[in-house]
Amino acid sequence: MSVPILIYMSSTPSPFWYIDRSAGEVTILLMSAVVILGIMRSAIPAAWPFVVEGIHRRLALLAIAFGGLHVVASLLDPYANLGPLDALVPFISSYRATWLGLGVVSAYIYLAVALSSWPVRRLGRTWWRWLHRTTYLAWAVAMVHTLGTGTDARNNVFLVLNIAAVAGVLTAFLGYRIYDEAQPVTPARALAGIAGLAAVALIAFWAFNGPLQPGWARVSGTPPGLIRSLQP
């Protein structure tokens, strides 16, 4: 086998690389849809809440399924050489430890919410509502994980999908959770709206000055040996 062919094979991603990235992107889109539907349930006409609730729960389970596929594919993909502990314990990986660890944290938060809600609610309504609201945190952390860990953050298709997901969640949050004609805008609701806008602004500022800039692979914690192996 000639040297050019060996170089081509070593630099060509495995099928698991594509599955990993694709499943991760589908997961963040499904999580976004789950958050949007969860916010808009109160705005749905009285005849439809059960339909919306059913879709909401099924999309939540589908997000877990694709998240699991994302994790399995990342472990099977030889690119980053990840092990089971990297998928279970946050911030210990030798590959982009911070950003990969945020994905683990997001998964634990999301699973805690899902397990407390399915198949029946296991907590009192007040505790359950506060725990359920951490879905916002899980979604935001997952978005940072997607941008910080993914080698395709600058891919035009993925970038458009992520912007659409953020815009959808932010619109639903401000339009249906914060500004509700049936309820007055209290200081707490106004503060939540400001916090939501600030969080999105911070993520956008970080993304445009970090993952979307050349050289992010080195800054983000990619092992130097792996960077050298990908250079021509």
Res. 199: pLDDT tops 50 = yes
pLDDT digit string (tens) for 98-134? 999 999 999 999 999 888 876 556 667 777 788 888 9
List of residues 6+ apart from 34 with CB closer than 8 A: 56, 59, 60, 63, 135
pLDDT at res. 8: 36
Please tell me the distance from the alpha carbon of residue 169 to that of residue 40, in angstroms, as a whole number.
10
147-170 tens-digit pLDDT = 999 777 888 999 999 999 999 999
Which tokens is 202 given?
């911070």
Q: Where are the domains of the chain?
A: 14-230
Q: Are 128 and 121 in contact (CB under 8 A)?
A: yes
Contact 210, 216 (CB under 8 A): yes
**Structure-token match 């991603």, residue found:** 13
Predicted confidence band of residue 136 (pLDDT cuts 50, 70, 90): very high
CB neighbours of 230 closer than 8 A, spacing ≥ 6?
11
- The alpha carbon of residue 220 and the mean position of all alpha carbons in its chain are separated, in whole angstroms, by 17
Query: pLDDT-derived band of residue 48, with 50, 70 and 90 as boundaries?
Result: low
